[in-house]
Structures are given as structure tokens and as C-alpha cells.
């Protein structure tokens, strides 16, 4: 099953944005996301908008379709501001030939010192590709490691072997990447404490300066979901995932990696992913490619999911947007709370949030010293129960944002 797009209003064919959305464009940080919707095989847990061989989706011409959408962005925005961050995600971007990725990056104007991230699967990059990406301006490589335990990789349907991610991280360093990140998943069926410890030891061996670690979620429509529904695999256990989180946080801190968002740890301020920071702070970004989400000045839109539909529209000079919405003040306040509470800097509280915040601090979920300054900062236990805290602080009737997880095809 494909991922679902949010409901919304129809988007105009020319992609035009209202004047209020364009006001101040370029004075706020601006990011570009490029979704690359191809994978060598589909992992059983993944519901991202991606296509595997045999599904009739061609990879050639893909970069031209993305650059055609960029031309549309130039017209709609009256000039795309130089991007402070670019994130090429997927899918598996490194399934495109390196020269195509180089051509893509050359077509996306960036501000001096821009952060440029490329996502890669450990078995889809070699030393030559990495050098070519670095020379083309990529500054970060994000590798999907998930686990160092062979049987967990099998359960997750990953195509790589346990040592591949560490080897790829070393190759990235050798190619000149100072910023290398590993994605981990914990709490997969059959994962034991020693498997998670081995994964954390592999992070140490890889010597990376950033880690994203997510509890496994069972997404409707995935193979994992079907296995769990018919009892072939157990549902991930929340208590066990909480234990993994505590252990992971302590091990990463011992490596000098500090949390800066609930699921993200970095060795320094420079090692943090500034692009994802733009999503969490509701900055402006344009998402290029099928299923990509964008947000400019309070207007959010999302592209058609299928790569052929996207290419048809973009090449024809028409907007590939499937729908859009203008965020209300209520939605913006809600998102500010739901996303802001997850950050290390904490959430500056509104007066109405004082009472629930006091109750959360009494329960040990918020830091009392930060609260005294009017900031909601999650404790370790608060990070584990972040949804409870977010719900308690949410202003007005709760309506979740359409972007589900950092790294989805907004790329958010």
C-alpha cells in the first residue's frame, strides 16, 4: 500500500502562492528537499513513497523531472532563495548514478556554507561515489544502518550485512565527509539487549558525529503490519523500547553524542542536522519530487505520489501539487507545541500551558529548573513519554500535523 496524502484543498495548476505566504521569503531560513523514490528492495516496515524494480517506474530522466519542478519554484517564488540546507532523501538517492546526483546538486543554488545532506543505504555507495558527492558540495552523509545484528537486519528485510554501515561510514570519512550520520531502529521483533548493545558498539567503531535512532513503528499497509496482524511477529513492546532508549541515550552520551531532538544525537552544534531543524521550527522549504511536502509562509502543500504523474506535470510546466492547506493560527500553535517539545532547547510556554506543565514536572516528565524559566524541557523519562507531554500541553482541540516523522517525504 502507498503512503496516504493529507486531505486539503485543490492546488492551482500554476502552483501560485498567496501574497501573504511570499511576504518575507528569503528573510527566513530556506531549505530544499529532494525526494528520490527508488529502492533496490522494499523493507518490510517501510511505508515511504518508494518504488522497487518490477513496479514499472523508470529512474532515467528522474533528475530532469526534479529540475523541471525547480524551474516552476523559480517562477512561483520569483526566484528561489539560495538554500541554507539541501536534503536529498528517499528512498535511496544513491541508487541514482553519481553523475546524476552531481548534476542535481549543480542545479540547486545554495547559500555559502550550506548544509547538503545525502541519504544512502550502506550497500549502495562506493568510494568513487562518495568522492564525487563530496566534490559536488555534499557536506553530510546519512547512512541507514538500523542494526548491527544480522538476524535483526533479516527481520527488517534490510539488504546489507552487519559490517556494511561501519565500512561505509569509514569510506565517507576517507572521502572527506566530516559529518556522517547513522540511522538506527530499536525494538524490532527478536532484538535482544545484546543486539542493541552490539549496534551501539558499532556506532562507536564507525566514529560518526550524528545518530538518529527510532523505535520501530508498525505502519498500516506494510508487510510488517501484515505479519503482526496474523500473529507471525509480535508487536513491538513499548516498555522494551523505553529500556532501549535509556540504554541508547547513555551509550551515545558516553561517546560524546548529546540528544538535541528526541530521536537525534550529535557531537556538536555543527554536527546537528540543520535541515531537519527547519521542519521542527516551521521554517520555509520546498520539497521537490513525488510525494514531497513543502511549506512556505504558512501554506503547506504535497505532491502527487507517483513518479510518472509528477514528471508529466513538472515537465509540462504545471505544479505537481496534489493538494494544499493554509495553516490556521490554531494549527500553527499546535505544531509549535508538538514539534517544539521534542527539542533540547525546550518549548517557551504560553500562559495557558503553565498549569499542565506544572503537573508534568510533578510527574518527573519536565525539568523543574527550565520550568522556572517558563520553558518546557523534557527529562529523560519525559522524552520516553513525549506523546503524553505533548498532548497535555497541546493548545485547543488536538489535530496532528500532516508530516508524520522527520525524514518522511516532506522530507519531513
- Which residues here bind ligand SF4, judged by CB under 6 A? 39, 42-43, 46, 48, 50, 90-92, 121, 144
The cell numbers describing 186, all together, are: 530499536
Q: Which of ligand SAM, ligand SF4, none does 261 bind, CB closer than 5 to 8 A by kind? A: none
Q: Which of ligand SF4, ligand SAM, none does 42 bind, CB closer than 5 to 8 A by kind? A: ligand SF4
Q: Which of ligand SAM, ligand SF4, none does 183 bind, CB closer than 5 to 8 A by kind? A: ligand SAM
Q: What backbone torsions phi and psi does residue 401 show, to the nearest 5 degrees?
A: -70, 160
Cis peptide before 255 (omega within 30 of 0): no
Q: Which of ligand SAM, ligand SF4, none does 219 bind, CB closer than 5 to 8 A by kind? A: ligand SAM
- For residues 220 and 186, what is the distance between their CA atoms, to the nearest angstrom? 19
Give the nearer residue to ligand SAM in terms of CB position, either 22 or 217. Answer: 217
- For residues 284 and 116, what is the distance between their CA atoms, to the nearest angstrom? 16
Please name every residue paired with 227 in a beta bridge, in sequence order, or none if there are none: none
Applying CB under 6 A, which of residues 119, 261, 284, 335 lies at the interface with ligand SAM? Answer: 119
- For residues 332 and 384, what is the distance between their CA atoms, to the nearest angstrom? 24
CB of 66 to ligand SF4, least distance (A): 17
Residue 110: is it exposed, middle or buried by C-beta count within 10 angstroms (0-12/13-18/19+)? middle
Position 87 contacts ligand SAM (CB under 6 A) = no
The cell numbers describing 401, all together, are: 500535523
Q: Which of ligand SAM, ligand SF4, none does 248 bind, CB closer than 5 to 8 A by kind? A: none
Which residue has cell 551509550?
251
Position 144 contacts ligand SAM (CB under 6 A) = yes
Q: Using the rule CB under 6 A, give the single segment among 75-83, 87-95, 237-245, 279-287 that binds ligand SAM.
A: 87-95
Residue 126: is it exposed, middle or buried by C-beta count within 10 angstroms (0-12/13-18/19+)? middle
Q: Which residues sit at the interface with ligand SAM, rule CB under 6 A?
A: 45-46, 48, 89-92, 119, 121, 144, 146, 183, 185, 214, 216-217, 219, 407
Amino acid at each position: 500500500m502507498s503512503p496516504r496524502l493529507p486531505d486539503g484543498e485543490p492546488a492551482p495548476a500554476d502552483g501560485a502562492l498567496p501574497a501573504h505566504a511570499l511576504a518575507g521569503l528569503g528573510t527566513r531560513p530556506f531549505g530544499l528537499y529532494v525526494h528520490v523514490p527508488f529502492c533496490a528492495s522494499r523493507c518490510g516496515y517501510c511505508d515511504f513513497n518508494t518504488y522497487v524494480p518490477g513496479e514499472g517506474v523508470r529512474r532515467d530522466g528522474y533528475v530532469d523531472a526534479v529540475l523541471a519542478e525547480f524551474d516552476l519554484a523559480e517562477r512561483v517564488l520569483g526566484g528561489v532563495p539560495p538554500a541554507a540546507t539541501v536534503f536529498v532523501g528517499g528512498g535511496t538517492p544513491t541508487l541514482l548514478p553519481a553523475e546524476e546526483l552531481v548534476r542535481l546538486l549543480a542545479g540547486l543554488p545554495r547559500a555559502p556554507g550550506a548544509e547538503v545532506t545525502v541519504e544512502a543505504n550502506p550497500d549502495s555507495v562506493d568510494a568513487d561515489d562518495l568522492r564525487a558527492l563530496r566534490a559536488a558540495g555534499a557536506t553530510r552523509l546519512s547512512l541507514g544502518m538500523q542494526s548491527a545484528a544480522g538476524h535483526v537486519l533479516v527481520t527488517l528485510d534490510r539488504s546489507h550485512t552487519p559490517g556494511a554501515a561501519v565500512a561505509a561510514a569509514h569510506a565517507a570519512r576517507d572521502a572527506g565527509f566530516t559529518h556522517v550520520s547513522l540511522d538506527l531502529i530499536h525494538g524490532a521483533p527478536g532484538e535482544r539487549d545484546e543486539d542493541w548493545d552490539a549496534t551501539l558498539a558499532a556506532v562507536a567503531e564507525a566514529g560518526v558525529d550524528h545518530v538518529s535512532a527510532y523505535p520501530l513503528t508498525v505502519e498500516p499497509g506494510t508487510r510488517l503490519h501484515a505479519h503482526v496482524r496474523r500473529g507471525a511477529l509480535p508487536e513491538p513492546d513499548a516498555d522494551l523500547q523505553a529500556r532501549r532508549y535509556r540504554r541508547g541515550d547513555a551509550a551515545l552520551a558516553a561517546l560524546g553524542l548529546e540528544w538535541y531532538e528526541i530521536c537525534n544525537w550529535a557531537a556538536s552544534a555543527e554536527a546537528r542536522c540543520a535541515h531537519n531543524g527547519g521542519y521542527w521550527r516551521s521554517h520555509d522549504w520546498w520539497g521537490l519530487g513525488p510525494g514531497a511536502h513543502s511549506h512556505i509562509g504558512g501554506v503547506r502543500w504535497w505532491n502527487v505520489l507517483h513518479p510518472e504523474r509528477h514528471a508529466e506535470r513538472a515537465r509540462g510546466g504545471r505544479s505537481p501539487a496534489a493538494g494544499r492547506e493554509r495553516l490556521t493560527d490554531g494549527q500553527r500553535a499546535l505544531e509549535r507545541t508538538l514539534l517544539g517539545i521534542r527539542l533540547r532547547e525546550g518549548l517557551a510556554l504560553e500562559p495557558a500551558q503553565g498549569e499542565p506543565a506544572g503537573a508534568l514536572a510533578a510527574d518527573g516528565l519536565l525539568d523543574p529548573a527550565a520550568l522556572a524559566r517558563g520553558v518546557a524541557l523534557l527529562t529523560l523519562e519525559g522524552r520516553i513519554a513525549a506523546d503524553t507531554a505533548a498532548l497535555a500541553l497541546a493548545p485547543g482541540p488536538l489535530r496532528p500535523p500532516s508530516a508524520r516523522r522527520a525524514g518522511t517525504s516532506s522530507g519531513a
